[in-house]
Amino acid sequence: MNSWLRNSLTEIARTNRHTDCTFTIEMKGCSRVFPCHKLIFSCASDVFDRMLFGGYNESSSGMVKLTDVHPDIFEKFRDYVYGYEYDKLKKYDFDTLIQLSEFGNKYLVESIKDDCLREILERKYSYDIGELLRLFQCAHNLNVTKFIDWVSWELKTNSKSLMGHAGIYEFNTDVFKSYLKVVSGKLSESERFNVLEMYLKYHGLDDVSPEEEAAPEFGGGDIKENTSYTELSTSDSTDEVEEPVEPKSEVPEPEKNICSKYVFELIALIDFSRFTPKEFYDGPGKSNFLSLAQKYEYLYKIARNASQAKEELEQKLERSHSVEPQSCVPMFASSQGHPNHHTGHQGHLAPSKCDRMRHPRHRYEWTDYDQ
């Protein structure tokens, strides 16, 4: 962007000149009103364009109310769309960049999402385990394949350090399922099952009933007149309105109503045949997430694998015993004698040392031959 134009837009934002709309940002007792310009936000994304110039209440009233972002984050977002300055992002901390990128992704402001992602990757060597887990959730929220691949590699590399970290249990259901796949082969199957069980219990699930119904799906409907864009975007099949999310983190609240179908999908990711009998007894054998029939089935597979391994070992031992050791061929000494071989008494050829080791009758005759 031209520096003159950027400075002019920044000045307009600072002085609030000629504003024609307001954004009211509310989140858990914190509320602020930001004067804005429709044209600026309309250029930022198609979402704001439809919101401010479509057939919704916001377009006629010029008042937009958002409850999915903290006022401090929206203030930084507003500052960005008036100048698109990447250098400003360099001053923000990790948590702010995460929230800005996810807010930009939700409202289709690709420029701020890309710039935040660029700055996040610039700092990639400075993140601790907790921040890597946050990035894993963020990467899936943004749905950027290269970002997901990089964070997945980092999690694989540090898989042992992640064991028991609270950040794992803050994943939403899809991201946790992806995490279990990522650490496959890096953690043992018993460790993966322990993480799975802890995740389900953290989200209020102690067992799975086969009769439990799946969570209801939400359907669409016709747009009613005098409907606001934000009401349409956040409405669901019930009349209850959910409380806003804590501003510090975009990680979703614990999902209390995880359906049984999802639990069965997680269980299917575990290869129980690779458990030892003790591991299975201490873990899945005492778990409420497996039915008795499943436990018998998996125990049968463990026993079968153990039996096959035993048979293979016995066959290898038999083959090794059936192979004759290579015999030592004695070398005959010359008539003048050889430094390594000597003739024995009465002109007989002395057995080699290899022969003496193989044949017991020669083991105690070294003195006669070697003197």
pLDDT tens column, 10-59? 888 889 999 999 999 999 889 999 999 999 999 999 999 999 999 888 98
| pLDDT tens-digit readout, 309-351 | 888 888 888 888 776 555 555 554 444 545 554 444 444 555 5
Name the β-bridge partners of 30. Answer: 27
Tokens of 142: 């943004």
Sequence-separated (6 or more) residues with CB below 8 Å from residue 107: 44, 45, 47, 48
The 10s digit of each residue's pLDDT in 244-292 is 444 444 444 444 456 888 999 999 999 999 999 999 999 999 999 999 9
- Token representation of residue 135: 């990035």
- Domain spans in the chain, listed from the N-terminal domain onward: 1-113
Query: What pLDDT band is residue 306 in, cutting at 50, 70 and 90?
Result: confident
305 compared with 330, residue with greater pLDDT: 305
Average pLDDT of the segment spanning 104-125: 95
Three-state DSSP state, 241: coil
Please write the tens of the pLDDT for every residue from 141-159: 999 999 999 999 999 999 8
pLDDT band at 208, cuts 50/70/90? low
The span from the CA of 160 to the CA of 114, in Å, is: 31
Helices (H), the chain: 3-15, 38-44, 46-53, 57-61, 71-81, 86-89, 94-106, 110-122, 129-142, 145-157, 173-182, 189-202, 229-234, 260-267, 277-282, 292-322, 353-358, 360-363, 366-370
Half-sphere exposure of 238 (CA within 13 A, CB side): 5
User: How are strands ordered across the β-sheet holding 63-66?
Assistant: 30-36, 21-27, 63-66
Length of the chain: 371
The yes-or-no verdict on residue 131 having pLDDT over 70 is yes
The SS3 assignment for 272 reads helix
Instruction: Give Cα separations from 282 to 206, 305, 307 (angstroms).
Output: 17, 19, 21
Tell me if 250 sits within 8 A of 141, measured CB to CB: yes
Alpha-carbon gap, residue 143 to 150, rounded angstroms? 13
How confident is the model at residue 259, as a pLDDT?
Answer: 81
Confidence of residue 111 (pLDDT cuts 50, 70, 90): very high
CATH superfamily assigned to domain 1-113: Potassium Channel Kv1.1; Chain A (3.30.710.10)
